[in-house]
Amino acid sequence: MGKLKIKTGDTVRVITGDHKGSEGKVQKVFIDKNKAIVEGVNMVKKHTKPSAQNPQGGIIEKEAPIHLSNLSLLTSKGETTRVGYRMEGEKKVRFSKKSNEVI
């Protein structure tokens, strides 16, 4: 498994699949599964039984994980880019390969 180039808090765009074109912020990254949960993307309906937290039960909508290969990082201008790493002095930084800016 290679290095993950997407982190929690990044703004990403879905580049392939059913949700192609939609954008959102990464809420959680599952390193072992190579997947991430993106805000408002890949919504699924989950049927919940009545419980102490949710006495009514019913159907709730929540985000399902989406594979990292289907996501692309966005630059500050809102265009998709690949991610590179370089050393700036003593610090290792991520940068956009398209615009060369530090992310």
CATH of domain 11-49+58-96: 2.30.30.30
Q: How far apart are CA 72 and CA 60, in angstroms?
A: 28
Q: What is the pLDDT of residues 23-77, one digit of tens each?
A: 999 999 999 999 999 999 999 999 999 999 889 989 999 999 999 999 999 998 9
Q: What is the pLDDT of residues 9-33, one digit of tens each?
A: 999 999 999 999 999 999 999 999 9
Residues 6+ apart with CB under 8 A from 6: 12, 26, 29, 36, 68, 71, 73, 83
Domain boundaries, the chain: 11-49+58-96
| N-terminal to C-terminal alpha carbon distance within the chain | 23
pLDDT value, residue 2: 65
Tell me the pTM: 0.83
